[in-house]
Every structure is written in structure tokens, then in C-alpha cells.
């Protein structure tokens, strides 16, 4: 009985989480579309590189590298903003070649940024929401049939 209650709570919380992620992503994309401004970033001269290694028994380890740097730019109102951001490989290569790198920021909240052309993908959250909705419906139907 207790495991059924935990399962039902898990399903409902999973649905709430998935819906929250989808809605948050949609709102963020909409905010950048409506209020997003573009600024040229200052050149970076150092960045932090973190190596993540995952060992699996019988397999060679999986290695992933994350690059992060303090990114500075001037807003349209001449305010200097500095944010710590992850550097995708293509952006890092632009910095290494001393090319211009643009960042998007929200005019009403300049510390909220994303790389030019970057968009928060909500399709995974929507698919997970639909999956969790189906599980919720199945859970409710089986719950009602158990109580009758």
C-alpha cells in the first residue's frame, strides 16, 4: 500500500516538474523574443575548464569537458554587466580566434543572458509532460478501480 502511495506521488510530482520546465522555457524564449537585446562581449583571456569522468565497469571511461568564463559586456544604457557562463565549443573557438562574440540579454534584467542564436529547447519537457500525464491518468484509473 505504501509503495503505491509513493508511486502516485512520484507520478504527480513528475508531471508538475515537467510542466513547470516546459512553461518556464516557453516564457524565457518569449521574453528574449520580446525584450532581448544584443551586445558585443569583451574578449576573454582566461577560462575555467572542468573535466568530468564517468567510469563504467568493463568500458572505457566517458570524459566530458565543460568550459566556463566570466563574460563582460556593455548594455544599451552603458552599464557594464559581468556574468559567469558556460562556453559552448563554437563560442570558445571564436574567442580563441579573437572574433566578435555577441550575447543576448533582457533589457529589464541584463544579467539574464544567453548566447546569440541560443534558444531554450522545450520539446523534451513537453514530451516528458505528455508521458507523465499518461502515467497520471493510468494511476488515477487504477486507483479508482482499486477503491471500488
Is residue 70 very low, low, confident or very high in pLDDT (cuts 50, 70, 90)? very high
Residue 135's nearest CA partner among 27, 1, 24, 17 is 17
Number of H helices and number of E strands within the chain?
Answer: 3, 6
What is the predicted pLDDT for the residue at 14?
81
Q: Report phi then psi at 45, rounded to 5.
A: -120, -10
Q: Report phi then psi at 84, rounded to 5.
A: -95, 125
Q: What are the pLDDT digits (tens) for 20-59?
A: 888 888 999 999 999 999 999 999 989 999 998 887 777 7
What is the predicted pLDDT for the residue at 69?
96
Instruction: List the alpha helices (DSSP H) in the chain.
Output: 2-35, 89-96, 123-147
Q: Comparing 62 with 35, which gets the higher pLDDT? A: 35
What span, in angstroms and rounded, lies between the C-alpha atoms of 143 and 54? 40
State if pTM tops 0.75. no
What is the predicted pLDDT for the residue at 113?
95
Amino acid at each position: 500500500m505504501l509503495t503505491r502511495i509513493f508511486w502516485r506521488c512520484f507520478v504527480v510530482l513528475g508531471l508538475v516538474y515537467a510542466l513547470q520546465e516546459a512553461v518556464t522555457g516557453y516564457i524565457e524564449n518569449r521574453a528574449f523574443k520580446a525584450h532581448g537585446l544584443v551586445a558585443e562581449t569583451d574578449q576573454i583571456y582566461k577560462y575555467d575548464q572542468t573535466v568530468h569522468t564517468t567510469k563504467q565497469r568493463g568500458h572505457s571511461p566517458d570524459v566530458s569537458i565543460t568550459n566556463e568564463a566570466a563574460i563582460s559586456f556593455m548594455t544599451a544604457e552603458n552599464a557594464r554587466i559581468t556574468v559567469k557562463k558556460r562556453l559552448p565549443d563554437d563560442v570558445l573557438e571564436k574567442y580563441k580566434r579573437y572574433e566578435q562574440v555577441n550575447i543576448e540579454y533582457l533589457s529589464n534584467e541584463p544579467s539574464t543572458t544567453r548566447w546569440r542564436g541560443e534558444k531554450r529547447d522545450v520539446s523534451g519537457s513537453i514530451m516528458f509532460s505528455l508521458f507523465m500525464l499518461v502515467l497520471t491518468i493510468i494511476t488515477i484509473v487504477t486507483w479508482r478501480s482499486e477503491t471500488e
